[in-house]
Each structure stands twice: as structure tokens, then as C-alpha cells.
């Protein structure tokens, strides 16, 4: 309607003035309701054509959309494993900090595993003390075997010396017997040394490895025990949390509630513009938004991101071919808008529905001198008619509360 009124000022209105004051045709006489079309046909036709062209230029170069939302992510409150609730630390709408406990599951089985692992470590420590005593015993056995071996060797050397001085004093049978005793006691020394090495290996290698394994088992059991206490992963507010002791929760089927992170949905708006504006939407474009939750306020925004794919064409591998006509309405181009000034979205609750305009700017192209002639005139017109769209947005901001409260009754 606004475009029609503007166009009529340069088409129908001058045509009427020409008919009235140049051709001396009077309204109500020559110009009547029945003869309006014939008398003002050139102005009306030009007005309609200019209106359609103006609307096209405005909505193409300065796109608008009603699909604008302050999206935010809700973090589900759920344990890694299912269980029965033993204790609840917070209630609905409480604010929690990162790491603060929210609720605790029954941990009797996990506590028993921790105690078992600790007892195993204590048992290994006792075995290590015993192993040190075994090392001392094996060392004594080695010294005892070495002394016995040395005694046998001394006796054998004495007999051999007597035999060298007087062959008839010591018999060959006695020499062989002493040699067998020396060899046997040498085997006893080797056995004692092997026993000592085995005990030392058990004390220095086996038992420390067993203790390290037991400590790892204790750490694992402690991790499982700690997981029975569900803590907040980030600062936020707990919502839809009605958990009570005795309830059963499951990470897949029965989460306990949701955690809304601080600042979620307050940094930017996500808008869906029509596909026809794919060549117009650019990062850095100035935009404006009006949200239902904050009426009568126009929020200056800037385009910070344009998603270069459209969700309507998303394909998921199935066991049957995808038919193109199964795609419903054409998808939109996802555009990210952030406030031009700090605190621009203050007072806009996350999840709010908004409307937004984006404005093309050709100022840099015009200043660079790259364009001229009719193209420069056209670009000047494009930048100028942005005022019309900005005015329409402000009219929407004024009408929005009336439309919502009076005509829809919400």
C-alpha cells in the first residue's frame, strides 16, 4: 500500500492535475467514478507498473523475513549409566555453576568395587613386605651354601696336596668322593642364587606391576563411583527438573531435565531468507530486527554469516531411492545476525520469534567509480528505496502489539 501511494504521487496525481487544470475536466463532471479508468488510464497503468517494479526492487535488494528466531541449545541432564536416584541437590530453576553436583545415584555397588580395589592394594603392600623378608632369607641361604661349598673345596684341596706328597696316604676313592661333594654343594649355591633372583624379581618387578594394576583398577572404580554424582558441565539454569529420590533415570529414555547455559540464545539471531535472495545476502550487510518479546523496538543488526547450503536438500542414506518431489516447500537460506551494538539483544528472551530486514549497500561501488551512467542511477535508487523498507519495518513494529493483543487475542 505504501509503495502504491508513493508511485501514485508521480503518476496518477500528475495525470489528474493535467486533466483538471490543463484540459479543464472537473471531478464529478467529466471525471467521475465511472470514467476514472478512461480519464486516468495512463497514470493508473504507469502507477501499477511502477509499483510492481518498486516492490520487486525493494524486496529483492533489501530482503525481509518473518522466520527469525533466537535459537539456543539446551543441555540434557542425564547420567552416563542408568540407576536409581539417591540424593538431589538442586530444584527447578536453580542456577548452577560448572562442576556443581545436581543429583547422585545409588552407588553401593561402585563403592564396593572401590573398597575391593583398595583391599587389593593393601594385600600387595603386605606381599611386598613379605617379599623383602624372603629376600633376606634367600640371601642367608646363599651365604650358607657358599660356606658349605668353600668347606668342601678346602677339604678337597687338602687331600689333593697330601696325595701329591705321598700317593699312598689318600686313596683315589676318597678324592672322587670329595669331588662329588664339591659339585653337589656348587649346585646348592646355584639353586640358592636362583631362588634369591626369583624372590628379588617378585619383589622388584611382579609385585610393583600388580600394585600398579591394582591402583589402575582403583582409579577406574573411583571414576565409575564419581560418575554416580551428576554435575553441571557449564554455568546455567536447571529447568524441567522434577527428580526426586527413588526415581529411576536412564541416559537414553529418561533424562532428569535440561540445563540452559548462561548466555544461550542471547548472542545472535538465526534468520531464514528466501532462496531468491541467495545472490544478495552477503556478510557485513546491515540489518534490523523486531521481536515479539520486545515490541516497539527496532534492533540494529549485522549479517555475520550466510550458510552456503540449504537444509531442504539434505539427503540421508536409506534403503530406498529419494524422490525429488517428496521435498516439501523450498528451503530457506540460513543467515546469522548479531547485534550491531553491545547489549542489543538485552531483554529478548532466547527462543523469541522476530522479523528482520537486511539492507544492501552500494556506497563503496559508487564511490570507487567502477559504475556510471544508468547503472549508477539504478544503484542510487536501490540504496534510496531502502528507506521504504525500513519504514515498513517500523510500521510493523507499531502494529505488532495491536495485532497480537487485539486481533488474535493472545
Residue 288: in which H helix or E strand, if any?
strand 286-291
So what's the pLDDT on residue 148?
74
Give the H/E segment covering residue 265: none
- Beta strands at 248-249 and 286-291: parallel, antiparallel or unpaired: unpaired
What gap in Å lies between CA 272 and CA 355, rounded to an integer? 10
The number of helix segments (H) and strand segments (E) in the chain equals: 10, 14
Cβ-proximal residues to 266 (8 Å cutoff; 6+ apart), any chain: 70, 72, 345, 346, 348, 350
What are the beta bridge partners of residue 88? 103
pLDDT the model gives residue 308: 85
Question: Which pLDDT score is estimated for 371?
Answer: 75
Q: Where are the domains of the chain?
A: 1-61, 63-72+265-313+329-409, 75-106+229-261, 108-227
Order of strands, edge to edge, in the sheet holding 101-105? 229-231, 101-105, 83-88, 248-249
The three cell numbers locating residue 265: 540464545
Q: What does the pLDDT read at residue 2?
A: 64
DSSP letters for 359-370: E---HHHHHHT-
Q: Which of 334, 379, 382, 389 is nearest to 358 (CA)?
A: 389
For residue 313, give the DSSP letter. Answer: G
Nearest alpha carbon to residue 295 among 409, 401, 393:
401
Q: C-alpha cell of 211?
A: 600394585
Which cell goes with 398?
Answer: 507499531
Cell numbers for 27:
471531478
Could you tell me whether strands 269-273 and 257-261 are parallel, antiparallel, or unpaired per DSSP bridges?
unpaired
Instruction: Please give the C-alpha separations between residue 71 and each of 75, 311, 330, 331, 349, in angstroms, as whole numbers.
Output: 13, 16, 21, 18, 10
The total of other beta-carbon atoms located within 10 Å of residue 268's CB is: 18
Residue 288, pLDDT score: 92
State how far Cα 264 lies from the chain centre.
12
The whole-number pLDDT of residue 168 equals 63
* Alpha-carbon gap, residue 335 to 359, rounded angstroms: 13
Specify the pLDDT at position 303.
93
- What CATH code would you report for 108-227? 1.10.287.620
For residues 199 and 153, give the distance between their C-alpha atoms in angstroms, rounded to a whole number.
28
Q: Does domain 63-72+265-313+329-409 have CATH number 2.40.30.170?
A: yes
Instruction: Evaluate whether the domain defined by 75-106+229-261 bears CATH number 2.40.50.100.
Output: yes
Q: Which set of grid coordinates corresponds to residue 41?
A: 488510464
Mean pLDDT for back-to-back runs of 10 residues, the chain (410 residues): 68 73 75 70 80 81 90 86 88 89 89 91 86 80 77 73 67 72 77 80 83 90 89 89 86 82 86 88 91 89 89 76 73 90 87 90 79 80 83 87 75
Amino acid at each position: 500500500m505504501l509503495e502504491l501511494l508513493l508511485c501514485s504521487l508521480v503518476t496518477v496525481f500528475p495525470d489528474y492535475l493535467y486533466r483538471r487544470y490543463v484540459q479543464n475536466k472537473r471531478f464529478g463532471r467529466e471525471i467521475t467514478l465511472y470514467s476514472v479508468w478512461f480519464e486516468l488510464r495512463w497514470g493508473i497503468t504507469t502507477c501499477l507498473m511502477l509499483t510492481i517494479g518498486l516492490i520487486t526492487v525493494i524486496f529483492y535488494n533489501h530482503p525481509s523475513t518473518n522466520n527469525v528466531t533466537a535459537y539456543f541449545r539446551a543441555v540434557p541432564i542425564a547420567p552416563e549409566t542408568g540407576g536409581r536416584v539417591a540424593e538431589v541437590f538442586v530444584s527447578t530453576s536453580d542456577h548452577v555453576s560448572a562442576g556443581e553436583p545436581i543429583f547422585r545415584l545409588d552407588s553401593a555397588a561402585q563403592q564396593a568395587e572401590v573398597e575391593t580395589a583398595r583391599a587389593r592394594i593393601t594385600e600387595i603392600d603386605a606381599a611386598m613386605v613379605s617379599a623383602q623378608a624372603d629376600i633376606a632369607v634367600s640371601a642367608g641361604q646363599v651365604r650358607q651354601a657358599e660356606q658349605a661349598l668353600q668347606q668342601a673345596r678346602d677339604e678337597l684341596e687338602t687331600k689333593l696336596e697330601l696325595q701329591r706328597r705321598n700317593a699312598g696316604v689318600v686313596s683315589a676313592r676318597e678324592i672322587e668322593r670329595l669331588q662329588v661333594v664339591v659339585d653337589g654343594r656348587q649346585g646348592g649355591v646355584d639353586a640358592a642364587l636362583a631362588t634369591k633372583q626369583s624372590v628379588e624379581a617378585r619383589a622388584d618387578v611382579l609385585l610393583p606391576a600388580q600394585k600398579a594394576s591394582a591402583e589402575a583398577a582403583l582409579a577406574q572404580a573411583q571414576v565409575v563411583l564419581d560418575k554416580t554424582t551428576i554435575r553441571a558441565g557449564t554455568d546455567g539454569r536447571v529447568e524441567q527438573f522434577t527428580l526426586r529420590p527413588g526415581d529411576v533415570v536412564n541416559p537414553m529414555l529418561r533424562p532428569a531435565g535440561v540445563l540452559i547455559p548462561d548466555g544461550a540464545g542471547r548472542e545472535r539471531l538465526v534468520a531464514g531468507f528466501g532462496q531468491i535472495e541467495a545472490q544478495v545476502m552477503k556478510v557485513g550487510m546491515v540489518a534490523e530486527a523486531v521481536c515479539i518479546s520486545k515490541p516497539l523496538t527496532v534492533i540494529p543488526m549485522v549479517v555475520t554469516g550466510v550458510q552456503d547450503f540449504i537444509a531442504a536438500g539434505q539427503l540421508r542414506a536409506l534403503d530406498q531411492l529419494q524422490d525429488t518431489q517428496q521435498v516439501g516447500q523450498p528451503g530457506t537460506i540460513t543467515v546469522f545476525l548479531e547485534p550491531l551494538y553491545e547489549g542489543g539483544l538485552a531483554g529478548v528472551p532466547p527462543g523469541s520469534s522476530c522479523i528482520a530486514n537486511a539492507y544492501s549497500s552500494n556506497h563503496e561501488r559508487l564511490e570507487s567509480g567502477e559504475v556510471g551512467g544508468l547503472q549508477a542511477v539504478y544503484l542510487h535508487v536501490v540504496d534510496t528505496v531502502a528507506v521504504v523498507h525500513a519504514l515498513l519495518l517500523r510500521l510493523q513494529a507499531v502494529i505488532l502489539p495491536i495485532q497480537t493483543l487485539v486481533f488474535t487475542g493472545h
